[in-house]
Structure 1
Amino acid sequence: MKRQVETITFDGSTLEYSVTGKGTPILVMHGGHSNCYEEFGYTALIEQGYSIITPSRPGYGRTSKEIGKSLANACRFYVKLLDHLQINSVHVIAISAGGPSGICFASHYPERVNTLTLQSAVTKEWLTPKDTEYKLGRILFRPPVEKWIWKLISSLNNAFPRLMFRAMSPQFSTLPFQRIKSLMDEKDME
């Protein structure tokens, strides 16, 4: 996917971002394990005449971690980015772990937001440093190891789709596995 990737510095902190497509602007708050190079779902939006602006969230890509000292502070930087790009208002799409950023941005800067779309977005406190999953994630998904972990997960998904589906489904639903399975077609797991 053809995109322009840049960094800008405000108040001594760097914000990395990408812009792709031409037309009505969409600001995408990517999920975890991603950055401004995200492209999942972008092609259809670009073909429909949208321009997609994706800042790497704090601590991702080349964006300074300090920008994320609070959601309000991060959103202040997103406003500065829109000002830099001379964009008055955007549609916001917040994906997964980008949910809190999108919600905060829309609530603090409603005059800058045309619409807010949450895609499988986190909408409340999810994991804290006290949680085992948080501690494990900090080990498994640190930069030198992360790409190998995702390759392993991908390989396991391809080799054992039903087993992985059973193992992962509790992460995506509050329904018991048997109920989820009863609502699905056999092809859905593939």
Structure 2
Amino acid sequence: MGAAIDVEQPTRPAELTAGTVEFRFDQRGPDTVVVFYGGHMRAGLALGEKAYVAADCSLLVPSRPGYGRTPVSTGGSARGFADVTADLCRHLGITEVAAAVGVSGGGPTAVAMAARHPALVKRLILQSAIGPLPWPDRRTYLSAQVAFSPHAEGVSWTLARALIRHAPELGLTLMLRDLTVLPVRSMVAGLRPEDRAKLIGLFSRMRSGHGFVNDLRDLKANPNAMRLIAEVAQPCLVIASRRDGAVPFTHAEALADGLSRAELLESEADSHFIWFGRDWPAIADRMHVFLKAGSSSAPDVES
């Protein structure tokens, strides 16, 4: 069950009371998983979704505020967009969510959805997720304001795509240098060919829009994150790697400590991208069991 990064997936907009939301709804089985991807990702991109396919789950992926065709004004904050997504579920006739999944910068939105809509959300999965600790550091914040501002991000990503296309080794090294605590050149050299191709495909399609700067603003203005985490009563899987250079492992530990029914699953991945770790198949199998335990067709159990 490796990571899946295919061509751009088809999406569509929904017009809700709060505004327009771009989303992808892949319908399969009766259980639905909602995935909130992190920075520079939108509903049309897919990462590590085979685990949900294997569990026969339908998949709802909204573009968070500022990404894709979802304007910043729709929801705006993690809490606000959690409510918007609950409204989107009602709009689509989804009465139960087997799991809200928060990836990286999408973690706070998944936590907020679980806390604010406990009758809707049955489980919570957090992958390399930003927790209640201060994030980002000052250097990351200032550099992101320059490179990924709405006025500059198009140029930044055009240059990144050109570099990856013409000098893939150098391009991957530059893109991954802040995502691992390991020497980045040796980490890139050790990538399996299939993972190298998937990362090139992912970086070639990323955009920041207005979303990444909005994420940074929201995270800096979120002093009550721990209080919201304490309100989550659902079972939770927290998955992270100690070699993650983007979101320190201490975030996963703080999440596991603050959530009342959490299991911390340590990934052996060499970077922020846990889906490319050698142990990802075992982690995906654990997610499958976790999802089926919370399935509408199976009895609920403690994790």
TM-score w.r.t. length of structure 1: 0.77
**Distance in 2 between residues matched to 1:12 and 1:92, nearest whole Å:** 20
Secondary structure of the 2:51 match is helix
Q: 1:95 aligned to 2:103?
A: yes
**How big is each residue's C-alpha offset from its partner over 1:1-57, in whole Å with a ceiling of 9 and x where there is no partner?**
595511012236210000124111000011111000121111232133111100000
Moved more, 80-89 or 146-155: 146-155
Q: Which runs of 4+ in 1 moved over 3 A?
A: 1-4, 148-155, 157-163, 165-175
Q: In structure 2, do the counterparts of structure 1 residues 174 and 64 end up closer, same or farther at CA, with 3 Å as the change threshold?
A: closer
| Counterpart AA for 1:126 | W
Moved more, 47-56 or 137-146: 137-146
Moved more, 19-28 or 147-156: 147-156
Q: 1:127 aligned to 2:136?
A: yes
Cα offset for 1:157?
Answer: 6.3
Secondary structure of the 2:11 match is strand
Q: Is contact 2:148-2:156 (8 Å) kept?
A: yes
Please point out which of 105, 111, 114 is paired with 1:106. Answer: 114
Query: Which residue is 1:14 aligned to?
Result: 20
Cα offset for 1:172?
Answer: 4.9
Moved more, 66-75 or 17-26: 66-75
The structure with the greater share of residues assigned to strand is 1
Query: Which residue is 2:33 aligned to?
Result: 26
RMSD: 3.4
| Aligned ranges 1:158-177 → 2 under 5 Å | 163-164=183-184, 170-173=245-248
Q: In structure 2, do the counterparts of structure 1 residues 166 and 122 end up closer, same or farther at CA, with 3 Å as the change threshold?
A: farther
Q: Using CA pairs below 8 Å that are at least 6 residues apart, which structure has the higher relative contact order? A: 2
Cα offset for 1:135?
Answer: 2.1
Secondary structure of the 1:110 match is coil
Q: Is contact 2:37-2:104 (8 Å) kept?
A: yes
Please point out which of 144, 149, 152 is paired with 2:154. Answer: 144
Which 5+ residue runs of structure 1 have no aligned equivalent?
176-182
Q: Is contact 1:156-1:164 (8 Å) kept?
A: no
**Distance in 2 between residues matched to 1:92 and 1:171, nearest whole Å:** 22
Q: In structure 2, do the counterparts of structure 1 residues 35 and 137 end up closer, same or farther at CA, with 3 Å as the change threshold?
A: same
Q: 1:5 aligned to 2:11?
A: yes
**Distance in 1 between residues matched to 2:246 and 2:154, nearest whole Å:** 25
Secondary structure of the 1:64 match is coil
Cα offset for 1:141?
Answer: 2.7
Q: In structure 2, do the counterparts of structure 1 residues 127 and 51 end up closer, same or farther at CA, with 3 Å as the change threshold?
A: same
Query: Which residue is 1:155 aligned to?
Result: 169
TM-score w.r.t. length of structure 2: 0.51
Cα offset for 1:149?
Answer: 5.6
Q: In structure 2, do the counterparts of structure 1 residues 87 and 12 end up closer, same or farther at CA, with 3 Å as the change threshold?
A: closer
Q: Is contact 1:21-1:46 (8 Å) kept?
A: no
Secondary structure of the 1:67 match is coil
Moved more, 42-51 or 59-68: 42-51
**Distance in 1 between residues matched to 2:75 and 2:186, nearest whole Å:** 34
Query: Which residue is 2:264 aligned to?
Result: none
Q: In structure 2, do the counterparts of structure 1 residues 165 and 78 end up closer, same or farther at CA, with 3 Å as the change threshold?
A: farther
Q: Is contact 1:157-1:164 (8 Å) kept?
A: no
Q: In structure 2, do the counterparts of structure 1 residues 21 and 42 end up closer, same or farther at CA, with 3 Å as the change threshold?
A: farther
Q: In structure 2, do the counterparts of structure 1 residues 79 and 133 end up closer, same or farther at CA, with 3 Å as the change threshold?
A: same
| Aligned ranges 1:52-91 → 2 under 5 Å | 52-90=59-97, 91=99
**Distance in 2 between residues matched to 1:72 and 1:184, nearest whole Å:** 30
Query: Which residue is 2:282 aligned to?
Result: none
Q: Is contact 2:18-2:75 (8 Å) kept?
A: no
The structure with the greater share of residues assigned to helix is 1
Query: Sequence identity, in percent?
Result: 26
